[in-house]
């Protein structure tokens, strides 16, 4: 990979919290520094780049114009559409305009996180800014949806390394998610599954079952209908994941997250 021409990437941040990038920077296999310094040419990313303001926007324009059809547009965040998209502006332009222009010349788009994939908290009822995910606006380009709030660092790194290694997008499921990372149901590989099968459930967060690590289903766990790599790859380099740490899965990678899953009060 290190001998290949580095793939230009424009990584946009729209209506979001930036924690998808926070997650990405912690990937250990491969290290984020290896990806950024040796594998891709991360030409624009307002969170990680040194340039700012007009200089940064000029860089994005230059990269787009010099690499038409050959760069990856990575998008973090939802896109507000109400009132002409004024609720998220960058360099004097709306996120809506920026996305449309940069998507037009991109080779493919990677939508990072539940904001970019299904709208996440921004699109939760009553959705005052009219936030929508990338796939609602861009319909004529290949899009890899990488949901999760945020996605697992190694999943993000895995998507990038797959594109670089095989020079094509990973195999996707019907929701545009890489099958390799979203083909597993949390429940099927959960470390508490034996307790579920035995009917041993935590009834409150400080009960004895909670201390013993019993199943969190009755505490609202969404693991039975959430597809993600948390219970097999785990987080922080394979160290743990929400359920292992004592909290139910809130279905952060599923469509409708917030309105249908974690956003509703489970306490
Ligand atoms: Fe933040 Fe979650 Fe949106 Fe990622 S998907 S930017 S972690 S709110
Ligand atoms: Fe399934 Fe959640 Fe119980 Fe794990 S904690 S076995 S994912 S219901
Ligand atoms: Fe999200 Fe559930 Fe994993 S809340 S981080 S999909 S365990």
**Domain closes at, from 158, 181, 204:** 181
Burial of residue 234, with CB atoms counted within 10 A of its CB: 0-12 exposed, 13-18 middle, 19 or more buried:
middle
Which of 121, 149, 181 terminates a domain? The answer is 181
**Residue 41 sits in the same domain as residue 132:** yes
What gap in Å lies between CA 227 and CA 182, rounded to an integer? 5
Residues 6+ apart with CB under 8 A from 263: 121, 124, 257
Tell me the CATH number at 30: 3.40.50.700
Q: What is the DSSP string of 49-64?
A: -S--HHHHHHHHHHHH
Max Cα distance, the chain (Å): 62
User: Could you identify the atom of ligand 2 that is nearest to the CA of residue 249?
Assistant: 2
Q: Residue 5: is its pLDDT beyond 90?
A: no
- Residue 235 shares a structural domain with residue 153: no
Residues forming a β-bridge with 131: 80
Residues 66 and 173 in one domain: yes
Please give the Cα distance from 160 to 144 (Å, whole number): 10
Percent of the chain's residues with pLDDT above 90: 93
Residue 42 lies in a domain: yes
Is position 2 within any domain?
no
**How many structural domains comprise the chain?**
2
- Which band of pLDDT confidence, cut at 50, 70 and 90, is reported for residue 3? low
Distance 212 CA to ligand 1 centre (A): 31
3-state SS class at 254:
coil
The confidence score (pLDDT) of residue 256 equals: 87
Instruction: Report whether residue 214 contacts ligand 2, using a CB cutoff of 6 Å.
Output: no
The pLDDT confidence band at residue 260, using thresholds 50, 70 and 90, is confident
Q: What is the DSSP letter of 75?
A: E
Tell me whether residue 53 is exposed, middle or buried, using C-beta atoms within 10 angstroms of its C-beta: 0 to 12, 13 to 18, 19 or more.
exposed
Residues 97 and 188 in one domain: no
**CA 264 from chain center: how many Å?**
21
d(CA 254, CA 267): 20
The residue count for the chain? 267
State whether 192 and 123 are in the same domain: no
Backbone angles phi and psi of 97, in degrees to 5: -65, -45
Alpha helices in the chain (DSSP H): 19-24, 32-34, 53-66, 95-104, 113-118, 134-137, 153-166, 179-182, 193-197, 208-212
pLDDT tens-digit readout, 78-126: 999 999 999 999 999 999 999 999 999 999 999 999 999 999 999 999 9
Provide the angle, in degrees to the nearest 10, between the axes of the packed helices 53-66 and 95-104.
30
How many C-beta atoms lie closer than 10 Å to residue 174's C-beta? 6
Report yes or no: 249 and 189 within 8 Å, Cβ to Cβ: no
Per-residue model confidence as pLDDT tens digits over 16-63? 999 999 999 999 989 999 999 999 999 999 999 999 999 999 999 999
3-state secondary structure of 125: coil
Check residue 263 and give its pLDDT: 43
pLDDT of residue 261: 62
Among 147, 154, 250, say which to mutate for ligand 3: greatest number of ligand atoms within 8 Å of CB.
250
CA-nearest residue for atom 1, ligand 2, is 187
Ligand 1 pocket by Cβ (under 6 Å): 16-17, 19-20, 76-77, 113-115, 120-121, 149-150
Residue 176 lies in domain: 7-181
Annotated binding-site residues for [3Fe-4S] cluster read 230, 249, 252
What is the pLDDT averaged over residues 5-24?
96
In which band, very low, low, confident or very high, does the pLDDT at 2 lie, cut at 50, 70 and 90? low
Q: What is the CATH number of the domain that holds 237?
A: 4.10.480.10
Q: Name the pTM for this structure.
A: 0.95
Give per-residue pLDDT as tens, 171-224: 999 999 999 999 999 999 999 999 999 999 999 999 999 999 999 999 999 999
Residue found under tokens 């984020």: 32
How high is the ipTM of this complex? 0.98
Which atom of ligand 3 is closest in space to residue 186's alpha carbon?
Answer: 7
Residue 250 CA: which ligand 3 atom is closest?
A: 4
């Amino acid at each position: 990979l290190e001998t290949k021409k580095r793939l230009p990437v424009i990584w946009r941040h729209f209506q979001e919290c930036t924690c998808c990038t926070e997650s990405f920077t912690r990937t250990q296999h491969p290290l984020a520094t290896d990806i950024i310094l040796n594998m891709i040419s991360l030409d624009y990313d307002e969170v990680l780049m040194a340039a700012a303001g007009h200089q940064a926007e000029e860089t994005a324009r230059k990269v787009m114009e010099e690499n038409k059809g050959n760069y990856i547009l990575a998008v973090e965040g939802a896109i507000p559409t109400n009132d002409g998209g004024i609720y998220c502006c960058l360099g004097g332009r709306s996120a809506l305009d920026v996305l449309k222009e940069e998507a037009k010349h991109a080779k493919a788009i990677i939508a990072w996180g539940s904001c970019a994939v299904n709208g996440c908290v921004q699109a939760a009822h009553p959705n005052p800014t009219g936030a929508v995910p990338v796939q609602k606006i861009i319909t004529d380009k290949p899009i890899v949806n990488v949901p999760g709030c945020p996605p697992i660092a190694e999943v993000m790194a895995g998507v990038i390394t797959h594109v670089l290694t095989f020079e094509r997008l990973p195999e996707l499921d019907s929701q545009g998610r890489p099958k390799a990372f979203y083909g597993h149901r949390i429940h099927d590989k959960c470390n508490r599954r034996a307790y579920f099968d035995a009917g041993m459930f935590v009834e409150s967060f400080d009960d004895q079952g909670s201390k013993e690590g019993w199943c969190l289903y009755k505490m609202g766990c969404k693991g039975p209908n959430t597809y993600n790599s948390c219970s097999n790859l785990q987080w922080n380099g394979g160290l743990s994941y929400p359920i292992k740490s004592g909290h139910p899965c809130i279905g952060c990678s599923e469509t409708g997250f917030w309105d249908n899953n974690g956003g509703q009060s489970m306490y």
